Chains A and B, each alone.
Chain A
Amino acid sequence: DAGVIQSPRHEVTEMGQEVTLRCKPISGHDYLFWYRQTMMRGLELLIYFNNNVPIDDSGMPEDRFSAKMPNASFSTLKIQPSEPRDSAVYFCASSSRTGGQETQYFGPGTRLLVL
């Protein structure tokens, strides 16, 4: 399996621009998670989906952030408009709950820099 795939790997944009991050989970996994990692705040869960349905978005920082999962093999995290404080590494992870033994597998991350 190719693992969790994220694109782009790096993104540099200017404040006010729209940013779209993409994630392809591991085939057969029915959970998808979006995390943000910064030096100041560490690893934060933003939102997660089960069977394409958002379950908990309490970690989404503001209305500028939105996430969708139109099908089982694709999810997007959008920031509009972007701000310099959104600069971080954004990770996507996926998992499958089998007998309660769920393990999350992480993608390589998207390193976002907002100027």
Chain B
Amino acid sequence: AQSVSQHNHHVILSEAASLELGCNYSYGGTVNLFWYVQYPGQHLQLLLKYFSGDPLVKGIKGFEAEFIKSKFSFNLRKPSVQWSDTAEYFCAVNAPGGTDKLIFGTGTRLQVFP
């Protein structure tokens, strides 16, 4: 069965610090990968996604993620965080052509202090 692991449960950074959130998945075949962001009190919004092609994916608000197939990883990065990036970040995976379910990680809570 597919699963997603987010090892960083809570990350605290100062503004302008660099960010990297880990995401590893377990599935042997082709996958679609997603990062969603949930700002306090709001719904999940798509940050970026990977289906195929260039493994370095750029999303909204300066975020990017790199798909490394050999490591089963899809880590999220941002070179310089802002206070407004304070939110919870969810990694998710599904298998194209297979089950339609998105498998979510447990989420990483990011707090950015001015």
Contact = CB atoms under 8 A, between A and B. Distances in A.
Nearest to A104: B102
B105 to A, nearest CB: 9
Nearest to A101: B51
A18 interface: no
Interface stretch (B13-21, B39-47, B58-66): B39-47
Contacts of A42: 104, 106-107
Interface in A37-61: 42-43, 45, 48, 50, 55-56
A55 B51 contact: no
A14 interface: no
Interface string B75-97: 00000000000000010001011
A25 interface: no
Interface of A: 31, 33, 42-43, 45, 48, 50, 55-56, 91, 93, 95, 97, 100-109
Nearest to A108: B43
Given A48-B101, A106-B44, A106-B45, A43 B107 contact: yes
Nearest to A109: B43
Contacts of A95: 100
B95 to A, nearest CB: 9
B32 interface: yes
